[in-house]
Amino acid sequence: MIDDEIEALIAAETTRQAEGLEMIPSENHTSGEVLKALGSRLTDKYSEGYPGMRYYGGCEFVDKVENLARDRAKSLFGVSHANVQAYSGSPANMAVYYALVDPGDTVMGLALYFGGHMTHGLKVNFSGKWFNSVQYQTGRDGYLDYDAMAALVQETKPKLIFVGATAYPRIFDWAKLRSIADTCDAYLIADISHISGLVIAGAHPSPVGFADVITTTTHKTLRGPRGALILCNGNPSNPLKSVERSRENLPTLIDRAIIPGLQGGPHNHQTAAIAVALREASQPAFKEYGKQIVKNAKKLADVLMNKGYQLVTGGTDNHLLLVDLTSKGITGAEAEKALGEAGITVNKNTVPFDPRKPFDPSGIRLGTPALTTRGLKETEMQQVGEWIDYALQAKGQSAKLAAIRDEVVAFTKDYPLPA
Ligand SMILES: *Cc1c(COP(=O)(O)O)cnc(C)c1O
């Protein structure tokens, strides 16, 4: 490599990942095959349009790449249509709004401070500015308050309801959500960005058959490149022609929202890497992986609760834990810093009804997807929980934190990043 500055930084980041414990629940470590596709010549190619219908010549191979990605996504999730072109999760969600509602329409999503995503109607996001966004939340117990949500739907009659979260440790009841959306004939959108790998593994119920549209990033538990999928059922027609808004037309509405609605050329290297990740996710080993993520999270939850930590909802059903540190006399920002010094990467997070500000909230979010990729199991989760506890007790004491870090670095030698 000729650019020695960037080469050094890539090496430093790779070492940081290899020698640390990555516990941000939205992160993961991709395989060498995924990285190879991402670094390929496919990045050079323009191919606006869809396979067989492109505005550029020379698309015979990228057409096949995109078809493979679409077919693998369809069969893995069990839907009849997949769009694989959205550049990432946020643009995928933007495409759903673009396809199904108009500016000024009422839309609904889980509030960010209760674990939702910015694109689900946060006031400073396009979704909160361009639409009349109504936000639902969890109850005091941290569980989604379905009754309050149903009442809010009755009161405000949204045209579209986003369900999905970045910091929610429990399972979504898709049937119940469908029946709530049906009370005002709203489109139900399942944003399974965090949990799509668990859904594939059968470790979280699938929204297929309940949600009208499903969006997911491909780089979280799905363990692929940064990117997104938009999944639905219906009759695909020629995406070059506009169609009426209806459930039957969902595939065409979504495809047309991506292009010409929002994007230009697809990122073919990314599409190829998504196809690779989807094939990996179709192997039996991936099912084991997804189930182990949840086992590890449950084990870590037990270890921390036994040490007196308070978990929002009192535990977890999925890949993440939301720890309320109030009773331990430490803030989320202080915890993030202490753990970082000890070689454990986490992020601070608000807890439901957080009295503190988002820049220094009361909690942290801990996830097991990346550690599970590296081969850690329940036994190792015991050790990870011990380190977390020591590090939080040692906040501000750099010598103690450095000593934990040395242990962490030594430990990671036995759990290399994927080849
Ligand atoms: C991560 C995430 C997104 C956005 O994905 P980006 O790729 O960061 O744009 C959207 N919704 C949910 C629920 C997410 O977790």
Per-residue pLDDT reduced to its tens digit, 350-373: 999 999 998 899 999 999 999 999
- Mean pLDDT, the chain, as a whole number? 97
Q: What is the pTM of this model?
A: 0.97
| Cβ(88) – ligand 1 distance below 6 Å | yes
Q: Which of 217, 221, 316, 373 is catalytic?
A: 217
CA 8 and chain centroid, separation: 29
Annotated catalytic, 159?
no
Nearest to 81 by CA among 223, 245, 215, 244: 215
How far does the centroid of ligand 1 lie from the alpha carbon of residue 128, in Å?
A: 16
What is the DSSP code (8-state) at residue 193?
Answer: T
Residue-level pLDDT at 240: 87
Parse the chain into domains and list their residue ranges. Answer: 33-281, 286-412
Residue-level pLDDT at 99: 98
Q: Which fold has domain 33-281?
A: Aspartate Aminotransferase; domain 2 (3.40.640)
Q: Whose CA is nearest to atom 13 of ligand 1?
A: 165
CA 211 and chain centroid, separation: 17
Which residues are CB-neighbours of 267 under 8 A, at least 6 positions away?
A: 43, 85, 87, 227
User: Does 15 score more than 80 pLDDT?
Assistant: yes
Beta bridge partners of 228: 217
Residue-level pLDDT at 385: 98
What is the DSSP code (8-state) at residue 358?
Answer: T
| Cβ(194) – ligand 1 distance below 6 Å | yes
What is the DSSP code (8-state) at residue 246?
Answer: S
Residue-level pLDDT at 235: 84
Residue-level pLDDT at 237: 86
Query: From the CB of residue 358, how many other CB atoms can be counted at a distance below 10 Å?
Result: 12
Annotated catalytic, 106?
no
User: Does 119 score more than 90 pLDDT?
Assistant: yes
Measured CA angle at 319 (ends 386, 229), to 5 deg: 145
Q: Which fold has domain 286-412?
A: Aspartate Aminotransferase, domain 1 (3.90.1150)
| Cβ(117) – ligand 1 distance below 6 Å | yes
Q: Whose CA is nearest to atom 14 of ligand 1?
A: 193
Average pLDDT over residues 333-349: 97
| Cβ(270) – ligand 1 distance below 6 Å | no
How far does the centroid of ligand 1 lie from the alpha carbon of residue 66, in Å?
A: 22
Annotated catalytic, 374?
no
Confidence of residue 236 (pLDDT cuts 50, 70, 90): confident
Atom of ligand 1 nearest to the CA of 219: 7
Residue-level pLDDT at 1: 64
Q: Which of 220, 256, 348, 365 is catalytic?
A: 220
Confidence of residue 2 (pLDDT cuts 50, 70, 90): confident
pLDDT digits (tens, 9 = 90+) for 385-418: 999 999 999 999 999 999 999 999 999 999 999 9
Higher pLDDT, 239 or 138: 138
